[in-house]
Structure 1
Amino acid sequence: MICRVTSPYEQAGFGVGFDWGPVGAEVVAGDIVAVVDVLSFTTAVTVAVDLGIDVYPYRWRDETAVAYAERWGAKLAVGRSEAGPGDVSLSPATIRRAEGVRRLVLPSPNGSTIAKQLSDGGATVIAVSLRNRRAAADWVREQDKRVVAIAAGERWKDGSLRPAVEDLWGAGGFLSALDRDDLSPEARAAVAAYDAVAGELPELLHECAGGRELTQYGYPEDVAIAAEVDASTSVPVLVDGTMFRST
């Protein structure tokens, strides 16, 4: 008999786990995985599904994305800096103002990429932000399965992971709302991080590095939307590995 050696990084033996980025998503497996990218992919997804828009995550914003959007008859989101009147980008504000959009291809190097990676591995993937963290927790609680939250994080110029505190708060807020007692130490740390600032949001979201960055680039409205804690009752689930649609 061959005995499988459990990796110490898997957080085995706990019903609720937490980790960072695409590598963490690969190592810490869950039946249900909540991808958290507060500024701005998963916030944008919740805004879209609130409006009845199906969101097709995609890894790249290039010619292949154009063909992918055409395949699904969807509007392709442009880069934030490229967006003109009537365009939709990763900016949640542009999605909220969109008219006549029912399908949206939303490229993102972090949250979108992780969601597609997890779906390929067979997990049920949901998009979680501060806006829908309680609604998502309520939905997951009914499933009674192992759940993992993956904070997407950002990237430094050398390509290495930059842990983004807003994603830690988003993941911790979701895990806190689960109200389960089988959290891994990593998941407990995320919950503690959220609980420590819950009474000071949205102010701290504007003051953290990610919030300051978007504000500096001219997108304070996106930070304000991301800070709408518990404003959304949507739970976007990735269907057939293709599109996020609300349950």
Structure 2
Amino acid sequence: MFDQSPYESRLEWGERGVREAAARGDIVIVVDVLSFSSTVATALHYGAIVFPHAKDEHLSAFAKRHGAAIINGRSEAAAAGVATLSPVSFHPGHAGSRFVLCSLNGAVCARAGASATALMAGCLLNVSAIAAEAARLRAATGASVTVVPCGEKWTEPLPGENALRPSVEDYLGAGAILHALGGSLSPEAEVCAGAFLQSRGRIAELIWECGSGRELRDKGYGADVKHCSRVDVFTVVPLLREERFEVAAK
């Protein structure tokens, strides 16, 4: 009922938005700028293979089944000198390596939308490439495109309280993709694209100073914030297929 019909380009939020869009048969783009989507795009740019998964009791078995290493948190993995959720930890030496990437938001949303007509990981780093592939798939399948900023989660929500915390960086990333994607925009999508257009001259500054950016900076990961704030530096399109992200064929 509340599916933003009959628009070609739509906006939803978080895991529920992904599930609803996938159930409709939409093409889904999950956007987690800091940092899941940016890390996936960076890892695939360097030839790594990424399997998204929640950090739960099934994680170890999932990783073993795919012969993949579980990516640790930033601080633990950085101390060991291995790849982390930090996108800047990836480099050409990771080509062909298999990783399970966990996050509370992006990875969970990616798994929730696995049944979509197509599910891609979008961010500021690959705006034009993601929009072009989504437009191509929309023309080929007739499916609408739903862009889903994943947002963050509040810590220690009260019982029954919604844990989703909408985030500026994901909203701006989604707006950039929707602006590039075009087609008929739902009111929700139009406002989101407008937010990007209003802010596009200050994207790096706004993400640097937003709550999520400040949180990462305070923990010593300012390089992540700078990297993830760049627009259109990669042409890679991460497409979820058989539980892993692979580069969409051009």
- What is the TM-score with the length of structure 1 in the denominator? 0.90
CA gap of 1:97–1:223, structure 2 versus 1, over 3 A, is: farther
1:73 corresponds to 2:77: no
Which amino acid in structure 2 is aligned with residue 151 of structure 1?
Answer: P
Alpha-carbon distance between aligned partners in 2 of 1:79 and 1:192, rounded to the nearest angstrom: 34
Task: Please tell me whether the aligned partners of residues 30 and 147 of structure 1 are also in contact (alpha carbons under 8 angstroms).
Answer: no
Per-residue deviation at 1:86? 2.2
Alpha-carbon distance between aligned partners in 1 of 2:164 and 2:26, rounded to the nearest angstrom: 24
Task: Please tell me whether the aligned partners of residues 206 and 223 of structure 1 are also in contact (alpha carbons under 8 angstroms).
Answer: yes
**Gaps in structure 1 of 5+ consecutive residues:** 1-6
Per-residue deviation at 1:164? 0.4
2:135 counterpart (138, 141, 144): 141
Alpha-carbon distance between aligned partners in 2 of 1:27 and 1:63, rounded to the nearest angstrom: 25
Where does residue 198 of structure 2 map in the other structure? 196
Alpha-carbon distance between aligned partners in 1 of 2:192 and 2:93, rounded to the nearest angstrom: 34
Which amino acid in structure 2 is aligned with residue 163 of structure 1?
Answer: P
Alpha-carbon distance between aligned partners in 1 of 2:134 and 2:19, rounded to the nearest angstrom: 20
Cα RMSD of the aligned pairs, angstroms, is 1.6
Which amino acid in structure 1 is aligned with residue 247 of structure 2?
Answer: S
Number of equivalent positions: 236
User: Greater CA deviation, 227-236 or 134-143?
Assistant: 134-143
User: Greater CA deviation, 43-52 or 98-107?
Assistant: 98-107
Alpha-carbon distance between aligned partners in 2 of 1:24 and 1:236, rounded to the nearest angstrom: 20
1:53-104: CA deviation from partner (whole Å, max 9, x where unpaired): 11100011x5632332222111210012222232222111222386466211
1:172 corresponds to 2:194: no
1:139-180: CA deviation from partner (whole Å, max 9, x where unpaired): 111222310000100011116110001000010000100122
User: Greater CA deviation, 225-234 or 195-204?
Assistant: 195-204
1:219-245: CA deviation from partner (whole Å, max 9, x where unpaired): 0011111012100100000012x0001
- What is the TM-score with the length of structure 2 in the denominator? 0.89
Which amino acid in structure 1 is aligned with residue 10 of structure 2?
Answer: G
The answer to which structure has the higher helix fraction is 2
**Gaps in structure 2 of 5+ consecutive residues:** none
SS in 2 for 1:17: strand
Where does residue 152 of structure 1 map in the other structure? 150
Q: Structure 1 vs Structure 2: percent identity of aligned residues? A: 38
Alpha-carbon distance between aligned partners in 1 of 2:94 and 2:12, rounded to the nearest angstrom: 37
2:51 counterpart (40, 53, 56): 56
Per-residue deviation at 1:137? 0.5
